[in-house]
Structure 1
């Protein structure tokens, strides 16, 4: 009889892991690692559930990004696994040169009082190229806006994991452009005069994709880590400290790809201007691009 009781308890525990009700609408946020098009989007899931799960995801960022895709999935032990389908794309509105991702979610359900959450991670591939992985990220969803706002307030410093360049002091920092960086020698490629403090870097592979990976540093501070260079540009938005005239961008080779050295093309977007620079880095030399900030004179 005791053996039967133990088996019954185990059965109930096993069964309960598959009985979580996630049906309904969920609202939340989806992040993307640095190097993606944007680090934070809004996300909504509308789920139906019987034995399996099906429904629709809606990722958006204002009016410029609106991606609506059908999905299906199931509960496996404590994990909720949802897969968007390339054949169920219902809306694909993104800026020119962007590519939407078909995503896979691995989520966990948890409850805090009356508040319910789905939290986990996502991976994906580009809609136009199933062999091209998207930079992954995290997902947080709540049954209602109240729960989402509570989570965001409590985790406001960690929802998006970045390493921002913080300017808090009125005294400009003393920059150290020493001749050695991570056991390599910074090699000057070019110097560019920029007139805007808000800039964007676009990094794409040069000629053939061969799994090159780089990290980008601004004034020896990490801007983005382990960017896989691809045909689709990785975008990095950043702001210069306007108290400083001379800035340094380093493109450090994390590996050499299948065909050494590590090669890429960097496009610096300065307002309406675009500067194209060929980048070559290896384990001995790190490509260095210098920016000289000269704001436009007010007329």
Structure 2
């Protein structure tokens, strides 16, 4: 039996509270392909969230515990935006048969908690390890668990060493001892930047969340096509709603929507029911760039859509068109 193992790297967009710590074991699956050709693989991620907000860990992509790939992960947690950039760094072990095609994933996941169940779910894109070519995409679902199907990493099993209680001082020491006098200042500690993600340059921290926008690397999909500006809109409301419909005959058009380089809708079918996107602006004078990426052209090229934007009590209807060579871009500026 031939197994196709895919090794995943995750860009996790989470919506959890500030105090949330994602250190632990997350186990589930990912699905590749479409329709009757969809394939399901087991997927386990062991994450260590460091005090510097950097992330380290490993992934296991597998059919069974004897046919698998293991990779190291690096990432960074942005506490102000509650986002995680989580990227596979090195393939360290591979046990698979002939014809295996290892790939590196970029995942876009949301954190959810219902009762005692914590989950990460969303979508991914991938590239081949051999040549960096497109390896396809799909969906991911993980839940926090206590036990691993593989070896638990040291950061999950390591315990703090027990401290031996100090012996009580003798009467003579109590009588003679004096409090120490500090005659010099302690040395300044240099900030450790070695744990920062390799995807983000080392920069000074932002002054406030309202003045400095978060920078996200441009996805490869957006660099291979022309991004044509359809319209720029200015609004004084932080609430932005976008509805997308098929603009004409329903012919199987599907699109992926990026908001400031992040996926907010993945391979959605356009029809009479809207594909709805909600965005809440937080930074003053911030630009919100929406790019419509055509996953296919349907039965009647090009890929066309009706975009309805509702913000600040205004309604805008735009007819947009995208192809395999050109994306459609709409920019909304928030000026309160």
| Both proteins in one fold, TM over 0.5 | no
Structure 2 length as normaliser, TM-score?
0.38
Structure 1 length as normaliser, TM-score?
0.42
